[in-house]
């Protein structure tokens, strides 16, 4: 993802810039890993570097397409799974999962551009009422947290690879 935004500007520009930064940081945790390493499970959960990016695509769809845009599940650019996206198909590649996330992010930007930060929507499942401002902050925190998870997993994977060389 090559979106670059200034750290200064209006509230909206800063929120969009921070969200884009968190998106890029998350993708960077998996970019360049082998297909095997990107799927390597080092924790008991389904979390791998690649499932973090897959989950992020799910989150983009849930919050921007489904909640903010009020799109029906069938009109979203990909599935909204019960498992939150923490499953990657055996035939899906790292490049495909990154591209899926980047498509969902691009669509999120387009949808968000049509709303003010104060626009509110009801979450389709929890019924919580949230604003675009809240969604932007929440998604930035979500992606930053997952980028941190991805950084740790990648560091572990790379240390295993280096020690076996």
What is the per-residue pLDDT across 96-133, written as a single tens digit (0 to 9) for each?
Answer: 999 999 999 999 999 999 999 999 999 988 899 999 99
User: What domains lie within the chain, and their CATH numbers?
Assistant: 11-163 (1.20.120.450)
Report residue 15 as tokens.
């929120």
Integer angstrom CA distances of residue 107 from 17, 40, 84, 139, 143: 16, 29, 19, 14, 16
Q: If 0-12 CB within 10 Å is exposed, 13-18 middle and 19+ buried, where does residue 133 land? A: middle
As a dihedral over the C-alpha atoms of residue 59, residue 62, residue 64, residue 65, rounded to 10 degrees, the angle is 130
The yes-or-no verdict on residue 1 having pLDDT over 50 is no
pLDDT digits over 74-101, tens only? 999 988 877 788 899 999 999 999 999 9
CB-CB contact of 78 with 66 (8 Å): no
pLDDT for position 78: 86
Which residue shows structure tokens 């810039």? 17
Q: What is the pTM of this model?
A: 0.92
Element housing 147 (H / E): helix 132-163
Q: What is the pLDDT of residue 4?
A: 53
Model confidence at 5, pLDDT cuts 50, 70, 90, reads low
């Amino acid at each position: 993802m090559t979106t670059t935004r200034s750290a200064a500007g209006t509230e909206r520009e800063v929120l969009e810039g921070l969200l884009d930064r968190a998106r890029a940081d998350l993708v960077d945790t998996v970019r360049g890993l082998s297909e095997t390493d990107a799927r390597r499970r080092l924790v008991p959960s389904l979390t791998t570097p690649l499932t973090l990016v897959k989950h992020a695509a799910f989150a983009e769809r849930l919050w921007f397409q489904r909640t903010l845009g009020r799109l029906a599940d069938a009109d979203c650019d990909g599935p909204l799974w019960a498992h939150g996206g923490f499953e990657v198909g055996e035939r899906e590649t790292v490049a495909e999962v990154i591209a899926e996330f980047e498509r969902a992010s691009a669509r999120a930007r387009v949808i968000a551009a049509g709303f003010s930060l104060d626009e509110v929507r009801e979450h389709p499942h929890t019924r919580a009422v949230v604003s675009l401002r809240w969604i932007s902050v929440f998604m930035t925190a979500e992606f930053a947290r997952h980028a941190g998870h991805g950084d740790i997993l990648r560091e572990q994977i790379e240390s295993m690879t280096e020690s076996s060389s």
